[in-house]
């Protein structure tokens, strides 16, 4: 079942797939954050602006 | 330490994310002017709210040309007053406290949302726009009738607004 | 090479017992969860709405305290004994802490269940957070205290095992699994002291009538001093499994041992001084303290983002060793038919999504948008409800054979089970997040009011349908899980068909990291300093405002109180 086809050592392994996935995640976080913070949150009414009285 | 170049890049990007988040939150505070509920109001005795100058007779009071204060007492399971009527295009400060357990005062679909803790007063100021109706809920579990706890904020046109006379 | 039960038969018995207790809690908790989704959405109401909160208390306590922490002690006992290759020093001591934890759970459960039975004058419908002045029967607080003391003694057991090993191996690096256990216990002691003090000094005497009132804001702050760290207490055994078991079942090696150590040190340092981020909307706490908690919390993203890279790279290493190629095509070379791998990998995907909703929760002012809404429920069903729970279930398919000597029964069912959980949670949590943005509150029996909620897209009916569908699938998945467990236990012992008890080796090994990483005394000391910096001033300010026992107020519920205010409420309507 889990037979390794080949042994890959530390110096011959570049996790390029991992880098691709985490950069995708980075972009997703930035887009979602901008949407929730600046559109959903700051775009809403009745925002608490500090005690006037 | 033996950190792969890609992982170093990722650590850098992670720091960018953290700076972005803290930066936008600071922008929200400093530029957009969003203020957190804080410790500005003095504590009150939850057992003696009836004797309190404001919470003894909760409701809407006018404090300036377009500014109003609303004192609200939360209890299980309701708000007093449960219907709050205020004029459009005004600035309203809510002061909410509890006479029993922890509640919340949350105006549904808006950013006005605060915990209500016995002994403490939650003060928050919001700017109202056009006439509208909003539901108010308690979103902190407060007892077996928690789900019955609701109120309403009615923003009426300025010319239809009248302060209720003290009973 | 042999199985765990052959190497450590006595410890295997302890691990088995802890796991079975966890599974019983999981089954009950899931059944209560199903009752809740059907009730909230008004699809089927078999209990009174007033009893909903007792069911919710049971759901919360059984799943986030009993299920997770019993599984944790099982995993940590395995991790210590396997990586140090030595048994626990004193089995009577080990069974004592196990007994305290079990006894504490039962004692706490008695008054909660008592709340459902009219003839018993006891109740503890106070939910997992038990905020005063909501009051539970004193037995609830005693049970809770015993449970926590049990976990402390478990930690003592593991530390003793480590110290005995250290005497024989003075110059060796701490094995990674043991390192993970010790750092986790470091912040567990530090944070659970808060809730223990709150319970023993304030809540228990108050429930016995010794004090008339307590300071609601103070006890709430002490709860959250512990309440955020406890989520990392659930998460650390999950991370341990992602670092040690997941790379192995993927066919690879852990990408970096030193980075794993850095991650655990960061959790030790930052888990506790962040609790005030649960109190962003509390009156009586200055904005500055909230801002500090926010920045601490944001830096706590770092260890999780590092984990994302290290764990995915370890999996990629496995895929490439299995012959995977290409920028992303290697994903296809992973053992997706193995429920252990697939369950843990999908749990990781869900945790990435939870990362985003967590950042919003942590975001100080943006918390106005989501605080105490259904969004938060969606968030923690992705974290503790999937990242943790699904990882534990998937890992059980590896651990059960290890601790019983019986091969896994019903492997295709097990694969179906983890997929079903992922699918169910996708429906349920996405609807919960969207419902939260529309303002639907959490923790309520009947979120149906005189006004209506208006989701930006879709409708409340559609969100409810997704919650019911998701919740039902999750319940079925739990039933499947328990079926596989029982099927496995009914099978015969056959160690030859079970993989040996090992964990993933590292590509970059412990020796590549500086020795200071293993200086646990130093890290604990810094953690204590950070906690004092984060909490001394807020606590002093709270006590300065209203005293240790608060400005007044009575315990609830009171019979008179309920009747009186029901009348008031009806009159007001």
pLDDT level of residue C119 (50, 70, 90 thresholds): confident
- Mean pLDDT in chain C? 95
Measuring CA to CA, which residue among B89, C441, B95 is closest to residue A51? B95
pLDDT level of residue C47 (50, 70, 90 thresholds): very high
Pairing of strands B122-127, B132-137: unpaired
User: Is A31 contained in some domain?
Assistant: yes
> DSSP character for B74?
E
Measuring CA to CA, which residue among C453, C133, C172 is closest to residue B101? C133
- The chain A residue lying nearest C363, using CA atoms, is A37
**Partner residue opposite C284 with nearest CB, options B10, B75, B117:** B117
To 10 degrees, what angle do helices C339-362 and C374-382 make?
140
> ipTM score of the complex?
0.96
Q: What total number of domains does chain A contain? A: 1
With H, G, I as helix, E, B as strand and everything else as coil, classify residue B75. Answer: strand
pLDDT single digits (tens) C244-290: 999 999 999 999 999 999 999 999 999 999 999 999 999 999 999 99
Where do we find the tokens 């897209």? C457
Range of the domain at A31: 16-43
pLDDT single digits (tens) C195-241: 999 999 999 999 999 989 999 999 999 999 999 999 999 999 999 99
Q: Which residues pair with B150 in a beta bridge?
A: B137
Whether residue C560 has pLDDT greater than 80: no
C213 is catalytic: no
C381 is catalytic: yes
Whether residue C462 has pLDDT greater than 80: yes
pLDDT single digits (tens) C492-528: 999 999 999 999 999 999 999 999 999 999 999 999 9
C462 phi/psi in degrees, rounded to 5: -70, -40
Inter-chain touch A53–B40, beta carbons under 8 Å: no
Give the number of other Cβ atoms within 10 Å of residue C515's Cβ: 10
Residues of B in contact with C509 (CB under 8 A): none
The answer to whether the beta carbons of residues B28 and B111 sit under 8 Å apart is no
Give the number of other Cβ atoms within 10 Å of residue C514's Cβ: 11
With H, G, I as helix, E, B as strand and everything else as coil, classify residue B153. Answer: strand
Structure tokens at C153: 């003694």
Q: Give the per-residue pLDDT at C93.
A: 98
Residues C355 and C352: their CA atoms lie apart, in Å, by 5
CA C94 to chain centre: 22
The answer to whether the beta carbons of residues C501 and C2 sit under 8 Å apart is yes
CA C123 to chain centre: 25
With H, G, I as helix, E, B as strand and everything else as coil, classify residue B84. Answer: strand
3-state helix, strand, coil in chain A (%, to 5): 50, 0, 50
> Residues C176-186: what's their mean pLDDT?
98
Side-chain-side CA neighbours of A36 within 13 Å: the count stands at: 27
Residues of A in contact with B20 (CB under 8 A): 30, 33
Where do the structural domains in chain B lie, given as residue ranges?
A: 1-34, 46-160
CA distance readout (Å), C257 to B15, B55, B158, C270: 21, 60, 67, 20
Residues B86 and B70: their CA atoms lie apart, in Å, by 9
The answer to whether the beta carbons of residues C75 and C398 sit under 8 Å apart is no
Q: Give the per-residue pLDDT at C552.
A: 79
The answer to whether the beta carbons of residues B149 and C55 sit under 8 Å apart is no
pLDDT level of residue A2 (50, 70, 90 thresholds): very low
> DSSP character for C373?
B
**Cβ-count burial of B26 within 10 angstroms (0-12 exposed, 13-18 middle, 19+ buried)?**
middle
Rg (Cα) of chain A, in Å, rounded? 23
Q: Which of C278, C442, C475, C535 is catalytic?
A: C442
Residues of C in contact with A47 (CB under 8 A): 368
Structure tokens at C152: 């402390």
Distance from CA of A19 to the nearest CA of B (A): 6
> Residues C50-67: what's their mean pLDDT?
96
Q: Which of C443, C453, C537, C545 is catalytic?
A: C443
The answer to whether the beta carbons of residues C264 and C184 sit under 8 Å apart is yes
Q: Give the per-residue pLDDT at C569.
A: 57
> DSSP character for B93?
E
Chains that touch C (3 or more CB pairs under 8 A): A, B
C368 is catalytic: no
Inter-chain touch A15–C316, beta carbons under 8 Å: yes
Q: Give the per-residue pLDDT at C120.
A: 82
> Residues C74-79: what's their mean pLDDT?
98
Residues C101 and C96: their CA atoms lie apart, in Å, by 9
Whether residue C573 has pLDDT greater than 80: no
Residues C550 and C213: their CA atoms lie apart, in Å, by 7
C379 is catalytic: yes
pLDDT single digits (tens) B34-77: 999 999 999 999 999 999 999 999 999 999 999 999 999 999 99
Share of chain C above pLDDT 70, in %: 97
Whether residue B165 has pLDDT greater than 70: no
Q: Which residues pair with C113 in a beta bridge?
A: none
E-assigned strands of chain A?
A: none
**Partner residue opposite A48 with nearest CB, options B20, B35, B67:** B35
Share of chain C above pLDDT 90, in %: 92
pLDDT level of residue A38 (50, 70, 90 thresholds): very high
With H, G, I as helix, E, B as strand and everything else as coil, classify residue B125. Answer: strand
To 10 degrees, what angle do helices C216-227 and C520-546 make?
160
Residues B60 and C566: their CA atoms lie apart, in Å, by 25
Structure tokens at B96: 């909410």
Q: Give the per-residue pLDDT at A53.
A: 43
CATH superfamily of B46-160: Cupredoxins -  blue copper proteins (2.60.40.420)
**Partner residue opposite A46 with nearest CB, options B20, B112, B123:** B112
Q: Chains A and B: how many Cβ contacts under 8 Å?
A: 86
Q: Which of C379, C397, C399, C434 is catalytic?
A: C379
Whether residue B130 has pLDDT greater than 50: yes
Distance from CA of A48 to the nearest CA of C (A): 9
C232 is catalytic: yes
Q: Give the per-residue pLDDT at C65.
A: 94
Q: Calculate the CA dihedral of residues C323, C325, C331, C335 and round it to 10 degrees.
A: 0
Q: Give the per-residue pLDDT at A49.
A: 86
- The chain A residue lying nearest C370, using CA atoms, is A41
Residues C115 and C51: their CA atoms lie apart, in Å, by 8
Whether residue C449 has pLDDT greater than 90: yes
The answer to whether the beta carbons of residues C488 and C16 sit under 8 Å apart is no
Q: Which residues pair with B154 in a beta bridge?
A: B85, B133
C179 is catalytic: no
Which architecture does CATH list for C4-572? Up-down Bundle (1.20)
- For chain A, give the longest Cα–Cα distance: 73
C160 is catalytic: no
Q: Give the best residue of C366, C375, C457, C513 to mutate against chain A (max A CB count within 10 A).
A: C366
> Residues C376-388: what's their mean pLDDT?
98
Q: Which of C39, C59, C228, C434 is catalytic?
A: C228
Per the model's pLDDT, the better-predicted residue between C566 and B97 turns out to be B97
């Amino acid at each position: 079942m889990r037979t390794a086809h080949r042994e890959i050592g530390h110096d011959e392994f570049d996790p390029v797939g991992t880098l691709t996935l985490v950069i995708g995640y980075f972009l997703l976080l930035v887009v979602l954050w901008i949407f929730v913070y600046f559109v959903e949150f700051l775009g809403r009414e009745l925002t608490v602006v500090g005690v006037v009285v | 330490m033996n950190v792969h170049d890609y992982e170093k890049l990722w650590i850098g990007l992670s720091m960018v994310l953290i700076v972005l988040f803290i930066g936008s939150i600071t922008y929200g505070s400093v530029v957009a002017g969003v203020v957190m509920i804080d410790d500005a109001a003095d504590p009150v005795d939850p057992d003696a709210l009836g004797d309190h100058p404001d919470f003894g007779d909760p409701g809407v009071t006018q404090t300036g040309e377009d500014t109003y204060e609303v004192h609200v007492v939360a209890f299980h399971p309701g708000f007093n007053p449960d219907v709050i009527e205020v004029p459009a295009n005004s600035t309203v400060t809510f002061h909410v406290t509890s006479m029993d357990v922890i509640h919340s005062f949350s105006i549904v679909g808006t950013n006005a949302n605060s915990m209500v803790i016995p002994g403490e007063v939650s003060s928050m100021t919001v700017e109202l726009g056009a006439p509208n109706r909003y539901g108010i809920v308690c979103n902190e579990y407060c007892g077996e009738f928690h789900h019955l706890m609701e109120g309403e904020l009615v923003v009426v046109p300025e010319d239809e607004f009248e302060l209720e006379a003290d009973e | 090479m042999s199985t765990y039960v052959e190497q450590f038969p006595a410890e295997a018995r302890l691990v088995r017992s802890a796991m079975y207790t966890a599974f019983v809690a999981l089954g009950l908790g899931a059944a209560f969860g199903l009752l809740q989704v059907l009730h909230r959405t008004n699809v089927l109401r078999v209990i009174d709405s007033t009893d909903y909160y007792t069911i919710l208390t049971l759901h919360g306590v059984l799943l986030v305290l009993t299920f997770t922490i019993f599984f944790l002690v099982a995993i940590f006992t395995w991790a210590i004994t396997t990586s140090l290759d030595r048994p626990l020093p004193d089995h009577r001591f080990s069974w004592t802490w196990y007994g305290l934890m079990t006894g504490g759970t039962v004692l706490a459960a008695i008054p909660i269940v008592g709340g459902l039975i009219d003839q018993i004058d006891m109740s503890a419908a106070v939910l997992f957070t038990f905020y005063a002045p909501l009051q539970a029967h004193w037995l609830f607080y005693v049970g809770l205290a015993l449970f926590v003391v049990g976990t402390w003694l478990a930690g003592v057991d593991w530390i003793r095992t480590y110290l005995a090993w250290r005497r024989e191996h003075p110059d060796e690096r701490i094995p990674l699994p043991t390192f993970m256990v010790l750092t986790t216990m470091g912040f567990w002691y530090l944070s659970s002291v808060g809730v223990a003090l709150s319970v023993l000094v304030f809540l228990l005497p108050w429930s016995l009538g010794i004090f008339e009132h307590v300071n609601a804001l103070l006890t709430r702050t002490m709860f959250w001093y512990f309440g955020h760290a406890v989520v990392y207490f659930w998460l650390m055994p999950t991370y341990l499994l992602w670092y040690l078991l997941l790379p192995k079942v993927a066919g690879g090696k852990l990408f970096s041992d030193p980075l794993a150590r850095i991650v655990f040190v960061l959790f030790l340092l930052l888990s506790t001084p962040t609790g005030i981020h649960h109190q962003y909307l509390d009156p009586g706490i200055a904005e500055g303290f909230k801002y500090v908690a926010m920045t601490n919390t944001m830096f706590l993203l770092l260890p999780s983002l590092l984990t994302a890279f290290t764990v995915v790279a370890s999996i990629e290493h496995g895929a490439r060793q299995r012959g995977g190629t290409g920028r992303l095509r290697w994903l296809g070379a992973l053992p997706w038919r193995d429920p252990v791998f697939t369950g843990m990998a999908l749990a990781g995907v869900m945790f990435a999504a939870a990362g985003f909703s967590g950042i919003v929760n942590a975001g100080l002012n943006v918390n106005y948008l989501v605080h105490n809404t259904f969004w938060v429920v969606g968030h923690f069903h992705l974290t503790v409800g999937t990242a943790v729970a699904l990882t534990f279930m998937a890992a059980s398919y590896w651990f059960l054979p290890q601790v019983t000597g019986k091969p896994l029964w019903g492997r295709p069912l097990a694969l179906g089970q983890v997929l079903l959980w992922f699918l169910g949670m996708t429906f349920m949590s996405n609807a919960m997040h969207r419902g939260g943005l529309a303002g639907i509150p959490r923790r309520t029996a009947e979120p149906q009011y005189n006004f209506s909620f208006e989701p930006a897209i879709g409708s409340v009916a559609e969100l409810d349908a997704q919650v019911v569908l998701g919740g039902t699938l999750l319940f079925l998945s739990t039933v499947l899980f328990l079926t596989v467990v029982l099927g496995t236990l009914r099978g015969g012992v056959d160690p030859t068909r079970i993989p040996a008890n090992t964990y993933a080796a590292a590509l970059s090994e412990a020796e590549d990291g500086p020795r200071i990483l293993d200086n646990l005394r130093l890290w604990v000391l810094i953690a204590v300093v950070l906690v004092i910096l984060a909490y001394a001033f807020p606590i002093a300010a709270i006590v300065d405002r209203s005293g240790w026992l608060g400005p007044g107020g009575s315990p609830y519920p009171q019979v008179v109180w309920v009747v009186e205010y029901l009348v008031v409420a009806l009159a007001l309507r």
